[in-house]
Copies of this chain bind each other. A is one copy, B any other.
């Protein structure tokens, strides 16, 4: 059997090596357009920034090492330019010699990846992406002196990693983001602390801005602002490299990615496809989507080898789990955001909590901001977002595992997680999130969201701040009256008769106040996530 793989990075190389492990006798050929295979693309920003000092540590394998260990026939700088599914053959151009040849396959695995969405602008300023070792090398070389002015376009995962590492190299960085917030997979109140942390490091963050044109030495925004730039990093997004599949007559999905079934077979059963060039089914609504994550590419790459070897495997629906660290802040998500659910007209309830990353009595505990979205009827978890400094990765992984398994939101309270004071709390942050979810869904404590507060107050509700007098004095929501929780029972008769909204700093004392007042017959709701979520949300809006 001759198996041909097009694309030799994450998904393609996972497929080729697993294929060998399952079949010593197969002939396995890998064509890669670029000069390197199997490089650590998620490490590229850190090579630019200097955290990864040794360029060779990015290069995980070479054609020679892959031949020695796996007997793979890896041909770099070979571009596949045409696939003929009728004759099961493809045309390949050797980019060094220009020679064109035809290669036969029994099974073909496409792992073409994605390319930057933007066309190369005509500009005298270098405009680079950060997807290949060559990109990273060129950025490295462009940072020729201290304080090189650089514009990064796009405030997503890659853009934020680029910003951190350019700052580490001493560059003067402007981050231009089309939308009104950074990290658009998150909701606005969750993303707000990220913009604040990035600005704190001296980065000029321009939200709601687009590049109109690039001039010599400057990027001109659509509002006319000229930003000095000697280098532009394009992290504005990618599109699937699907042209080869299009030309071959393979089915393309509505997203523009190569269509595949749950075994990663394309519309031609002898052609399988994986990675950023392929559309996936996602978990929440079963929709087709583009998720450009290395983990999925690797997993599906391995799976197509299993499929070719005759094993019964299917791809699991994608959660879209993602994480990014920028300076000392970490943000992560899984599933859908509130704005996605709202746009899709889905029913959902929301929980914001701000627990500590480990026992508060042990040094180094940091506050986490967590948001959970769940279905009010089934309690199915629809999405989670976490922002903090420590312990973010652990909590998103636990919630992603719960989502994968279909655990309801309230069941998060029941997880028996490992507790020692360095790592968590007797009630871990995830347990706490589950308890608050249950209190919210069952109506034990009705809540109001930060973006619903104005409407609630406009319709006559009174806002009661149950924090201490000193917290109130240090910054309060306009219109709030201050009745500290520990004095609330004595002052109930002084509260107005109409509906109440109570709040504290993070939501816990507000919950206690809501319980006290509800049992006295008052109509009361707790401001979900407290002052902190309200402050983050309103600051960003």
Contacts and interface: CB of A to CB of B under 8 A. Distances in A.
A68 interface: yes
A361 B416 contact: no
A401 B405 contact: yes
Given A401-B405, A406-B405, A359 B42 contact: yes
A283 to B, nearest CB: 9
Interface in A259-286: none
Nearest to A59: B361
Interface stretch (A20-28, A215-223, A248-256): A20-28
Query: How many chain copies does the complex carry?
Result: 2
Interface in A1-47: 10, 21-25, 40, 42-43, 46
Interface centre among A58, A334, A421, by most B CB within 10 Å?
Answer: A421
A295 interface: yes
A319 B366 CA distance: 27
A310 to B, nearest CB: 13
A416 B393 contact: no
A486 B68 contact: yes
Interface of A: 10, 21-25, 40, 42-43, 46, 51-52, 57-58, 60, 68-69, 71, 157, 161, 293-299, 302, 316, 318-325, 332, 334, 359-363, 393-394, 396-398, 400-402, 404-407, 411, 413-424, 426-428, 431, 435, 444, 485-486, 489, 511-512, 515-516, 519-520
A57 B396 CA distance: 29
B404 A415 contact: yes
A299 B414 contact: yes
A24 B417 contact: no
Nearest to A324: B420
Given A21-B515, A51-B362, A519-B25, A416 B43 contact: no
26 contacts: A22-B444, A23-B519, A42-B419, A42-B420, A43-B362, A69-B512, A295-B419, A295-B426, A299-B414, A302-B435, A320-B416, A321-B416, A321-B419, A334-B416, A393-B423, A394-B394, A396-B418, A397-B398, A397-B417, A400-B415, A401-B401, A401-B405, A401-B407, A404-B407, A404-B415, A404-B416
